[in-house]
Amino acid sequence: MDGGFGSSGRRARVVGLRPCRYARDFAERTFSQLEGFGSYGFPESHAASFALIAYASCWLKCWHPDVFCAALLNAQPMGFYAPAQIVRDAREHGVEIRPICVNASRWDCALEPTDRPDHFAVRLGLRLVKGLANAHAAALVAARGDTPFPSVDDLWRRAGAPPSALVRLAEADAFRPSLGLARREAPWAIKALRDTPLPLFAAADAGATGARAEATEPPVALRPMTDGAEVVQDYQHAGLSLRAHPVSFLRAALTRRRIVPCAEAMDAPDGRTLTTAGIVLVRQVPGSAKGVLFVTIEDETGVANLVIWPRLYDRQRRVVLGARLMAVRGRIQREGAVVHLIARRLTDLSAELDRIGAEGDGPPLPHAELDHGRASGQSDGPAGLPKARDMADPHGHIDALRIKPRDFR
């Protein structure tokens, strides 16, 4: 196939111009220009366009990492990396990330001022809350206006959102930053709500200066969630966590097995043989790679880039394609600033992730600093993993982490 630019294609198109009364010389020169653009001009213009986009993206990430982070989060789903990895990279570059909050978040992730005039914090948006409808989020933001919600009951009345929407917010821990309600306390408060306020209370509130609760519940001390359970819930209901990385809960056990962190592996000298482990983020097989599989894994220290040769892929296909947490034994290959781990043996550690929800009996990890706009008189209440993307079942035990790596094959 000559695509229309071979000898036969050239002859057919030149002959085709004759009925239009174009001279043969003019037809030949016209076709030559088209042929030149097709063989050089198009790929050249495509390369120039890509170079401009790459340069602009690099410039923005270098000088305005806060803006870059917010823009990528608002453009999801896209690219290789999920929101959890975008947020982790932004925090490593000094960007302050603020949690989802019913009194501060809008639908999109937004920029908020900090004490440094030339830097912004990124407020995570309601779009990250799994299962929350855009219409319910818009009603919440519109009802809030410039007057924060002092309670769950007030939010329910003013926004008119159904309790099911409030449960989604509670599962994503959106009531903690400003109202001080932990992930188990907020659903407890929501249980007392109806789909709509009772007419008697609604009529009374219409002539009053403030809404009154339909029922007053006595304080209940609920058992705090473990650190691991909090991280599991964060990832299940928001896709990321500002508390800790899932692998950090397994670090002691991994160290006992002589499994080093990803950052240590990537800093190792050329030729060193070692074992590292991490959450599987991306699997890709470029068309020009002759069957070589490239995998990116991540732990609490950073990422590691793996090279899996076709022979190992064929031998351990189930592990390569099914593992959510993978241990890799291999040799470091370093070419300048480019570092890869050439895999020799793979181990599926996914079962370890399912234990994280039950790990840790200490006090809850801090989510982030509580917002200054929290209601007065409320104290910190007692206080779940990354979700790379795959075709795996997204559901499961409430304390089990389901990771879906992004596959490009």
pLDDT average per 10 residues of sequence, the chain (409 residues): 48 57 73 70 79 94 96 87 90 95 97 93 97 95 94 90 92 94 88 62 49 60 83 90 93 95 96 95 80 92 94 93 94 93 96 74 41 37 37 38 62
> pLDDT value at position 21?
63
Angle separating helix axes 163-171 and 152-159, nearest 10 degrees: 130
Residue type, 68: F
List the alpha helices (DSSP H) in 130-226: 134-144, 152-159, 163-171, 176-179, 185-190, 199-206
In CATH terms, 65-209+222-238 corresponds, of 1.10.150, 3.30.70, 2.60.120, 2.40.160, to 1.10.150
Give the domain ranges of the chain: 7-63, 65-209+222-238, 247-353
Backbone angles phi, psi at 193, to 5 degrees: -90, 155
Task: Give domain 247-353's CATH superfamily.
Answer: Nucleic acid-binding proteins (2.40.50.140)
Q: What is the rounded distance in angstroms from the CA atom of residue 384 to the CA atom of residue 229?
A: 4
Pairing of strands 325-335, 293-299: unpaired
Q: What is the rounded distance in angstroms from the CA atom of residue 274 to the CA atom of residue 303?
A: 15
Cα 80 to Cα 43, 77, 389: the distances in Å are 24, 9, 9
Q: What is the rounded distance in angstroms from the CA atom of residue 215 to the CA atom of residue 209?
A: 18
Burial class from Cβ neighbours inside 10 Å (0-12, 13-18, 19+) for residue 107 reads middle
8 A C-beta contact, residue 194 and residue 163: yes
> pLDDT value at position 378?
38
> pLDDT value at position 405?
67
> pLDDT value at position 218?
65
> pLDDT value at position 275?
97
